[in-house]
Amino acid sequence: MADNAGNRPAEIFGYPIWNHSEEAQDVRERYWCPFLDRRCDKKSRLIDFPFGVCSVEHSGEVHTICPRRFEEQGSIEGVSKVLEDIALHYFGGFNDTIVFSEVRLPNVGSIDYVLVRHKPMKPEVDDFVSVEFQSDSTTSTGGLVQGILDFFDGLDLQGRSCKFGMNTYDSIKRAITQLLNKGIVYETWDTRCYWVIQEYIYANLIGRYGFKESGFSSEHASRFALYSLVPRGDRLTLNLNRFISTTVEEVYQAMRNNPGMPSKDRFVQRLNAKLRLKLSVQR
């Protein structure tokens, strides 16, 4: 990790900015995504090559800003570490399990992944579990683009800070909408779904809406799989921290009774101030 505080890309085309190995250089020259093993397809209108920032360092933490970052290879060829973790937690292993991606859920959307355990030697579903990846996003992304350009110009980003911010609230809004819409389906079906996010995003849900801090029940349809990105050797790697489960009702009640509920009186005071300014009326 960088040795001073600042905001900057953490990984460029899958490798930390401090990794200048031949392997890392080759991947970057080809604009390759090592997690998907193909050319990166992220775009920015500000550059004419892929926007290959997988994660960023912001306020001392590493934040994933591309859902493909959760595709980090596990011990089973062609299966991500995250899907292995979830299969182990839900099924107890990966035997007789097949992964399907982008599975359509009629009238709701699509599911990132469905892990299907089939009956031995039969093309018949024994059980299945859904998995959704939710990364974060940034504001003022032009600062990150400049960081990429500086990096390819040979500048050491570990001693620099780029001008960008995190758009975590927007990421949460999108995730909550899916959690409620799909969660209702999974509860009706009596099936399970794992929502893969980073630990700091769940901490934001706790602080913003009063989500519970811990707890897991096998009866709950919706489970959070909480990860962090930590240095290991010359790479960053996903670390599974814990699982937390919830229900649609718990989510609804947390949002309905959230500690950050704005004050109506203060809002009216703000409107009064706007009226005085607009109408040029002095108290």
Domain regions of the chain by residue span: 1-66+135-166, 74-133+168-228+238-283
pLDDT of residue 283: 52
| Cβ proximity of 74 and 80 under 8 Å | yes
Strand segments, DSSP code E, in the chain are: 8-12, 15-16, 32-33, 38-39, 53-58, 61-64, 97-105, 109-118, 125-133, 138-139, 165-166, 192-198, 222-232, 235-246
| pLDDT the model gives residue 5 | 62
> What integer pLDDT is reported at residue 91 of this predicted model?
98
Q: Nearest-CA neighbor of 115 among 74, 71, 83? A: 83
Q: Please give the model's pTM, rounded to 2 decimal places.
A: 0.90
pLDDT in tens, 173-230: 988 999 999 999 999 999 999 999 999 999 999 999 999 999 999 999 999 999 999 9
Q: List, for residues 226-270, the tens digit of each pLDDT value.
A: 999 999 999 999 999 999 999 999 999 988 888 888 899 999 999
User: If you average pLDDT over residues 63-79, what whole number do you get?
Assistant: 95
Q: Give me the pLDDT at residue 282, please.
A: 55
Quick one: 201 exposed, middle or buried, by C-beta within 10 A (0-12, 13-18, 19+)?
Answer: buried
